[in-house]
Amino acid sequence: MPTYSASPLFFVPKYHLLSKNLVIVPTYLELENVGRMIDAVLSLPVPFHILVVDDGSPDGTAEVVKTKRQQHPESVHLLERSGKLGLGTAYITGFYWGLERGYDYIFEMDCDFSHNPTDLVRLLKTLENGADLVVGSRYVRGGKCVNWPADRQILSYGASFYVRLITWMWVKDPTAGFVGFRRKVLETIDLDKIKFIGYAFQIEMKFAAWVLGFKIKEIPITFTDRIEGTSKMSKGIIKEAVWGVVQMKWWSLTGSLKHAERRAKIVKNEASQRSI
């Protein structure tokens, strides 16, 4: 006799039915780029949801996201924070948001088209094929930088060498900001203990995953200098990275890097921010 019961899928939140992939895009003063970036993500051949974390950009970046969200309420999301609080905390906030909503694969990407959104599909494939963390890398065979000023290239390549020298982590592009995580990596790393906010944040996330034994894979990407808007790179961010890398290594050697202690529950986002 046939039984008629509702499919379990029926009860799954809508997010899961539409996409298991979330790309987090932090923004500060990205009015010229954010609308095009959302359109580019939504037109990928594989469905991705996008979460913009905007730090109160005075140019109206968030307004553009709100308009896009009205057209695509399931796939476009916005977290607004009260002021420029830095890239690292924007991502941590986004990671919690994505974990709470059950996404399987969570990505980081800049809003300025330095990272080509079409590469998200290759990053995703790499995770689906077994990597825990995938890095869109400028410094593996096939990777390159286009139109980046020589001083930025030297700084970036020098930083990669310095990180490898101090930490012994083999990742060739440790400051890369085009990265994808399997959710278990973000669940395992104690995100509340991630300390840094700039390039050092990017290094710290990879280092924490590496210390915990997760499988990291680098795939080549072409990194293109931004055409619209301006860089928010500062001397402070460089200083943080130089000293931060030494601190990270020290913590790992002394055992005070306790990322392995998984958090029992995911803490709520800062009170100052609003999810819509």
Q: Are 107 and 180 in contact (CB under 8 A)?
A: yes
Q: How far is the CB of 34 from ligand GDP (least distance, A)?
A: 9
CA angle 85, 172, 224 (to 5 degrees): 60
Strand partners, 21: 105
Of 16 and 152, nearer to ligand GDP (C-beta) is 152
DSSP code for 190: -
Residues contacting Mg ion: total by CB under 5 A: 4
Q: Roughly what angle, to the nearest 10 degrees, separates helices 235-254 and 150-167? A: 10
Residues that bind ligand GDP (CB under 6 A): 26-28, 30, 53-55, 84-87, 90, 110-112, 114, 226, 231-233
21 to 40: interface string for Mg ion, x by CB under 5 A: --------------------
Of 119 and 132, nearer to ligand GDP (C-beta) is 119
Per CB under 5 A, the list member of 55, 108, 112, 204 interacting with Mg ion is 112
Q: How far is the CB of 120 from ligand GDP (least distance, A)?
A: 15
> If contact means CB under 5 to 8 A according to the sort of partner, which of Mg ion, ligand GDP, none does residue 55 touch?
ligand GDP
Of 111 and 123, nearer to ligand GDP (C-beta) is 111
Q: Is 54 in the site for Mg ion (CB under 5 A)?
A: no
Q: How far is the CB of 238 from ligand GDP (least distance, A)?
A: 10
> If contact means CB under 5 to 8 A according to the sort of partner, which of Mg ion, ligand GDP, none does residue 87 touch?
ligand GDP
Q: Can you spell out the DSSP letters for 48-114? A: -EEEEEE---TT-HHHHHHHHHHH-TTTEEEEE-SS---HHHHHHHHHHHHHHTT-SEEEE--SSSS
The dihedral sign for the CA sequence 97, 91, 28, 108 = negative
Structure tokens at 126: 């790499």
Nearest CA to 31 out of 250, 244, 226, 272 is that of 226
Of 104 and 270, nearer to ligand GDP (C-beta) is 270
Structure tokens at 6: 């509702």
> If contact means CB under 5 to 8 A according to the sort of partner, which of Mg ion, ligand GDP, none does residue 242 touch?
none
- Point out the residue whose Cβ comes nearest to ligand GDP: 231
* Residue in this structure with the two tokens 């029926």, named with its chain if needed: 10
